[in-house]
């Protein structure tokens, strides 16, 4: 009789142990995913202050700047592209940075400076603004500006429609640029719906 009670007691203890172990594993799983989500959120929002400052300075929508950064580097500031692109907005020293330096009558900054998020976002936003200004009369001026940012002004001119109100996406002959524009615009609409920059304004 006592042995039977002991066996029942042991089984009950094992059951409780397994129950607590399962609960602990589930809690650990939830904690790990919560930490991951918090990290992803903080990394994506880490540069909102610089984005909003550049947006105000150059009169560019902060949601569009953020969408470009998302597409270019997923908010990783130390990336160097295969063609020499630098930093968050993948600006090219021999093109975008040089144009910016000439316009401001300053020397081209060294790469170490260009990797700094505030500098990189400021120059990248200035360069993006050149395309927005160039195509401002077109209905799809954002898309044309993104074509210019990604593929260059000569390609954007080839793809621009004769009628300023006509869509032109099907005319884009470079597949990677077509995907780039579509993905940036999708993120832009998402960020616009989220009203990014709102928290920065209140700081």
Identify the burial level of 51 via C-beta atoms within 10 angstroms of its C-beta, where 0-12 means exposed, 13-18 middle and 19 or more buried.
Answer: buried
Its CATH class, for the domain covering 46-201, is: mainly alpha
166 is catalytic: no
C-alpha distance from residue 107 to each of 85, 99, 104, 121, 175 (Å): 18, 11, 9, 18, 35
CA atoms within 13 A on the CB side of 76: 9
CA atoms within 13 A on the CB side of 38: 6
Delimit the domains of the chain by residue range.
1-45, 46-201
- Active-site pick, 72, 143, 166, 194: 72
Instruction: Please give the structure tokens belonging to residue 165.
Output: 């109100």
Q: Please report, in tens digits, the pLDDT of each residue of the chain (203 residues total).
A: 555 555 555 565 565 455 555 444 434 434 343 334 334 444 789 999 999 999 999 999 999 999 999 999 999 999 999 999 999 999 999 999 999 999 999 999 998 999 999 999 999 999 999 999 999 999 999 999 999 999 999 999 999 999 999 999 999 999 999 999 999 999 999 999 887 654 444 33
């Amino acid at each position: 009789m006592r042995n039977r009670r002991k066996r029942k007691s042991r089984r009950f203890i094992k059951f409780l142990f397994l129950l607590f172990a399962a609960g602990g594993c589930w809690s650990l799983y939830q904690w790990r995913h919560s930490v991951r989500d918090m990290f992803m959120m903080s990394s994506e929002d880490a540069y909102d202050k610089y984005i909003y400052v550049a947006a105000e300075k150059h009169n560019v929508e902060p949601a569009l700047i953020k969408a470009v950064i998302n597409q270019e580097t997923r908010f990783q500031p130390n990336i160097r592209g295969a063609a020499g692109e630098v930093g968050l907005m993948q600006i090219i020293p021999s093109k975008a940075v040089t144009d910016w330096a000439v316009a401001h009558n300053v020397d081209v900054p060294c790469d170490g400076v260009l990797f700094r998020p505030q500098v990189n976002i400021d120059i990248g936003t200035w360069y993006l603004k050149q395309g927005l200004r160039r195509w401002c009369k077109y209905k799809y001026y954002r898309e044309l500006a993104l074509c210019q940012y990604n593929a260059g002004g000569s390609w954007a001119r080839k793809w621009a429609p004769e009628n300023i109100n006509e869509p032109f996406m099907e005319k884009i002959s470079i597949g990677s640029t077509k995907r780039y524009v579509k993905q940036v615009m999708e993120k832009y609409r998402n960020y616009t719906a989220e009203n990014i920059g709102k928290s920065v304004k209140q700081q």
